[in-house]
Chain A
Amino acid sequence: MNLAKNWKKLCLGSVALLATVTLVACGSNTSSSKKSAGNADLNKKQTITLWSFTTMQPQIDELKKEKPNLTIKQVVVPYANFQTKLDSVLGTDKAPDMVALDAGFVEKYVQSGKLTNLGDYGVASAAKGNYQYTLDMGKDSKGKQVAVSYQAAPGAYYYNTNVFQKYLGIAPNDVASAQKALSSWDAIKKTGETIKEKSGGQAYLFSSLEEIYNPVIGARKDGWVIDNKLKIDSSMTDSLDLMKEAVSEGWCQNTIPQTPDWYGGISSNKIGAYAMPSWGLFYWLKNYAKDTAGAWRVTEGPVSYSWGGTWLAGVQGSKNADAASALAVYMGTNKEFQTWDVKTQNDFGSVKAINKEQGKDAKVSLIGGQNPYPVWSKVADTINGKNQTQYDQSIQSIWINDVVNPYATGKVTKSKALDTFKSDVKSAYPNIEVK
């Protein structure tokens, strides 16, 4: 707590200095920082309304301990309706002070111009130790940091050593060899074919195509829209053929992700690996591993990507925007809070040092005592956080429905699928140039 106070004092101090020196040039910016000084003090008695798509009660309870004068009223709006409701009140006086934004749609709000500039609340220095990709995702097109993440979510492959040993001859604790087998898309293809062959078609490397397209999409160099033009990153079109082979040659079972059949594969010893985010370990793998608990291991796979994570932001013009913004910065960067979150909530925090510290000697029995943190940290450091756009959620969904699934199952030709994709994106976003 003292650390945060000191940081703030330092920031405000330097801003005040700057203000006195460059009075004429930087007028309004600095005066707003000065104004916010009082209200942004989290130790003052005040109330913040927070809208979230999932309950954050544990975090709120912890914050009550750390900032006892602060009352946080949370309103949980179901994920499916969250954006609709938020959109209808943003900019009105019914808007909340603070919002929790899921990775799937964070970019939309970041680019909306309706969030406060966290730079005014000291985020630049406070978040120096945060993962770059989380910061990139929270920056708008002008480079302003308007959202900060309090949980990062690097993706990785979780593989079943029973399957890898039986069909690939890889010893359970030889993670290096497993990584080699999954180190590139070519290697993955070979691994898949081998598993299929050796098991007589009974076992698969992957349960669904999501195991391929999530990493590919997350690791793209270019986002969907650049300079207002639709861009299909070359890695996406390359992956299409890989996915088609995966299905036709039978090393991907092609279940629908996150359905009973997908979950069922976790305990069946018939699926080689799953692509999951860090939190997948503690929810999906844990709940569905059953007898296979302890037989799993984690490794980075061919590319770095993220899946999920929550960003916090203050809403411009709301009643208590200042305190909300300060709280967002606090939750995303404060040592005490982050440590508590990582320790007790099984979250992969957003501060590198804290994850390193907490993950030093972690042993997770689900993955046979392996420490996942080095893998996660390695991935999180190299994720490209600049390939996000505010159109992502929709365009990605159109990509999967119009191109991935039909093409992989041989129902349409590649050119037809891409044509349908382009025309559907065009009708969704008439302002984007589509060629």
Chain B
Amino acid sequence: MENTKKSVRKKKSNFEKYNRFGYYFLIPFFVGFLLFTLYPMIYSIAISFTSMNGWQSFADATNVGLQNFITLLTSTPLFMKALGNSVMLWIFTFIPQVLLALILAAWWTNRKLNLKGSGFFKTVFYLPNMIMAASIAALFGGIFGYPTGLANLLLQNLHLINHPFNFFQSVWGTRGIVIFIQFWMWYGQTSIVYIAGITSIDEGLFEAARIDGASDGQIFRRITLPLLRPIVLYTFVTSFIGGLQVFDIPFIMTQGGPQNGVYTLSIFIYNQAFAYRNYGLASAASVLLLIISAVVSILMFRGFRERVNIGGEG
């Protein structure tokens, strides 16, 4: 075509002229960020360098430099335990969750299977996420009660145990319950995210593959998963950050017990801030939380990020 050169030049100039809108459109985000995230965050970080506690105001607090951080990392076993708990609980929750969510998403978007009633099922699976944590904690507290909770009655009837088991006095019993609840509250949401991701993949790719005789499994492994990578990465990162912040369920059910078995990082920070009112320590703990989140997230990104880029190509 004779006009190629011209149109290319035109495209180029169009491109440049409108690029500044990139900046414009990002302004609301940055304004919101400065006001609602950055300033409070800086304030929190500032507090972490003081020994602000109890009724003191920020102005009255004494500067202690890195002392809070040192205390947390070297002489606060509870902090290390809380950190370990949070990570451990997350690993046990997330892996089954991702697997189940992927399977569900795969089934639902499979044209061949053509599952009926997907709307109904999706709503139902998402329900646990919509209920307030307090109700769920109360429910499970009742089910696993000792000695006459539903679970104990069932297990005894099935002759799996002879005496009722005190779930909430057992560290791994309570952990198991918390893990299950977290998994069950979030698998629906994760699968919805994956479904949204899969439906955005060009249908044509699937058609072509099927015509070439690929099986469902192959399609899933070779086409769906790779294209879904950025979305899976998204759920990984957000789940990890969320996992570090798990608070409601363990707190309401057992306040972190027994023996601080489900004492998560968030419970630690919450207690420091609101029960013991050690604002300096609480802020320091949340700064440490921030650093850990950042480091792990960066590592995850590195691991995933070969093919994802922004604009330009692909």
Direct contact of A and B (CB under 8 A): yes
Chain A residues near B (Cβ < 8 Å):
83-84, 87, 90-91, 112-114, 253-256, 259-261, 264, 393-394, 397, 401-402, 405-406, 409, 411-412, 420, 423-424, 426-431
From the candidates A394, A405, A420, name the one contacting B169 in the complex (CB within 8 A): A405
Whether A405 contacts B275 by the Cβ 8 Å rule is no
Q: Shortest Cβ distance from B60 into chain A, in angstroms?
A: 12
Whether B146 contacts A114 by the Cβ 8 Å rule is no
Residue of A nearest to B259 (CB): A406
Which DSSP category, helix, strand, loop or mixed, fits chain B's interface? loop
Whether A401 contacts B259 by the Cβ 8 Å rule is yes
Chain A contacts of B142 at CB under 8 A?
259-260
Whether A428 contacts B259 by the Cβ 8 Å rule is no
Contacts known (A87-B277, A402-B260); A427 close to B147, Cβ less than 8 A: no
Q: Shortest Cβ distance from A79 into chain B, in angstroms?
A: 13
Whether A260 contacts B255 by the Cβ 8 Å rule is no
Chain B residues near A (Cβ < 8 Å):
51, 53, 55, 71, 75-79, 141-142, 145-149, 166, 168-169, 171, 255-260, 271-272, 274-278, 281
Give the residue among A255, A259, A260, A428 with the most B Cβ atoms within 10 A.
A428
Residue of A nearest to B254 (CB): A401
Which DSSP category, helix, strand, loop or mixed, fits chain A's interface? helix
Residue of B nearest to A90 (CB): B55
Whether A255 contacts B147 by the Cβ 8 Å rule is yes
Chain A contacts of B272 at CB under 8 A?
427-428
The answer for the CA separation of A90 and B56 in the assembled complex, in Å, is 12
Chain A contacts of B146 at CB under 8 A?
254-256, 261
The answer for the CA separation of A129 and B148 in the assembled complex, in Å, is 47
Q: Shortest Cβ distance from A201 into chain B, in angstroms?
A: 11
Contacts known (A261-B146, A409-B169, A429-B276); A401 close to B77, Cβ less than 8 A: no
Contacts known (A84-B274, A254-B166, A260-B142); A401 close to B55, Cβ less than 8 A: no
Whether B260 contacts A401 by the Cβ 8 Å rule is yes
The answer for the CA separation of A217 and B146 in the assembled complex, in Å, is 25
The answer for the CA separation of A150 and B106 in the assembled complex, in Å, is 64
Q: Shortest Cβ distance from A370 into chain B, in angstroms?
A: 30
Chain A contacts of B147 at CB under 8 A?
253, 255, 261
The answer for the CA separation of A413 and B259 in the assembled complex, in Å, is 12
Chain A contacts of B149 at CB under 8 A?
260-261
From the candidates B55, B77, B148, B169, name the one contacting A264 in the complex (CB within 8 A): B148
